[in-house]
Structure 1
Amino acid sequence: MNNWQSRKILVQGITEPLAIHAVAKMKDYGTNIVAGVGIGRGGEEIAGVPVFDLVEEAIAKVEVVYMSIIFVPPNQILDAVLEAMAANIPRLILVTNHIPPLDMMRLFRKAKANKTVVLGGGSAGIIVPERVLLGICEARCYTPGNVALIGRGTGLLDEVAWELTQGGIGQSIAIDLGNGEAIGSGFSDWLTLLAKDRKTKAIALLESAMMGNEEAADLIPPHFKKPIFVYVSGRFVPIQPFSQDTTKLILSQCSTSFAHGSTAEAKLAACDRAGIPVANSPSHLAKLLQETLKSEVKRKQKPVLTSNHESTTLS
């Protein structure tokens, strides 16, 4: 998670209204956006970023790209993803919502074959506070620290980050998995990476009761050393009938999406099985994290005896 400033970022669909707004904010935050793609708009500039008609034209100019952030309309997402994969871009963030289910099936299958990491659809992206903004997270909600946030649900990441920031708890990184019927990388993929991140001391998993998901609790490694907490929003929202649309039912079984029949009760039961503390609200989550982080500091500062019986402090 280091050297973000040197990593080249491409934006596909840079001429879309949301992208135009997001690109300016990302650049102001220090994100190294080197090129954009907008069909028929090649030769223009948006927020100082050169625009090309095709991904291959952009790659020929800027060479290796670390990640592409995709804003194209839903009916163009499959072509955009295939174009990025053909250019060997290894990481994709799909900001686009309401992607056709069959297109999602095709792009997930292609991504798996190419070993391409896909975040989304409907993802707000990733933010490493005061270092890099990749997507549409609201940067003012975040502050540097050592709690990682992984969320799934519209606006949930920003809401919880703001509550933590107000409580003096900073974030090492925040990742929005997306809010589509199916998503690419899931909780377990990011937990594996965060287990090795020295800056991250605790992790909060943020879920919406309407998303149908208890995978996070069930797939936490049995000997995971860092403290993990869960907050489930919308626990008291009336349960809506589950979709009976055939393509959505099939899609839920063909990606890293989550169980179609999940409810808040199912999520809480999964957390209970895994022994994971559950917060009742964002403010309760902040309180749990404060207590855990203070305990960790006290543990490290506990005096120990050296061989000559002198007291010292663990660093």
Structure 2
Amino acid sequence: MSEPFPTEAAVRAGLDAQARPPGSLGRIEDLAVELALIQRTATPRADRIALLIFAGDHGLTQDGVSAYPADVTPAMVATFLAGRATANAFARAVGVETTVIDAGVAADLSHPALVDAKTGRGTKNAAREPAMTPDQARLALARGAEQARAALDRGADILALGEMGIGSTASAALLMHRLAPAPLDDCVGVGTGHDAAGLAHKRAVLARAAGRSDATEPLEVLRQFGGYEIAMMAGAIHGAADRNAPVIVDGFICTAAALVAVRLRPETRRVCLFAHRSAEAGHGRMLQALDARPLLDLNLRLGEGTGALLAAPLVRAAAALLSDVASLDDVMAGRL
């Protein structure tokens, strides 16, 4: 007979009965409750966390929205596969498995460890035309869900999301603008490191992109302004939600993917655990649009899933809190 789904009241009652002052672990107790409700068990598991890094290129880079050239994307994919990126170092430090997925890099890539889910060789330039076709947007969502299911089938308890793609903060800002919604100027930040002139140029290009389409319906917004890696991360959230699996959402770009996922399927919000508030302008407001409380605030703005990786030990600790801590009654009765 299957275990009945726990209620929030029941999970909190169990936490309050532990051998420590009730509420003494603050946000970690809230996180433990979230895990229990997502996985629908009083003893959630977080032993195996899998980071999925989705890589894709953006046509917006043709108009100079990034301080870095587009060929950095395939170079960084090679760095991930060599195990030498920041995400790799953090993943090893916290015991998280990593999978790198070609969602839409504008280069021919081949490596035994690279998952080929390429939907296109980079998106079109959203400042001039839709970033992708409706079929490409739907395909990217479906392929993201497939990657989530595959990782869970390999034994992952929890997924973490990361991304790589020059121009991705520009795409994420446009998605936030329409789906939060929020004024465009509140959504645009320095990204990979613009100076004042570069930021002004980025704002002008994105204003032109926003003026090209008045889309507000989520799938249409995604196809007008999104990236393949953002669409696949949104799809991964959908796939995880179908399996009652928690997803640790990284920074600004991953949160934009979560925004897309939730606007398309509101019920999927329940599986999202937001790792951190980044230094990118607009991230705090986008978190508010999702009624999200991030676990960390470390002034990060790298991406790659680095913030999600740093949050992973907190998630594991919260799960252990529900399975490994004695009750006060057991302590007092010597039942240890």
Please tell me the TM-score bracket, short chain as reference.
0.3 to 0.5
What is the TM-score of this pair, normalised by structure 2? 0.31
Larger RCO (CA under 8 A, 6+ residues apart): 2
Between Structure 1 and Structure 2, the one with more helix by share is: 2
Between Structure 1 and Structure 2, the one with more strand by share is: 1
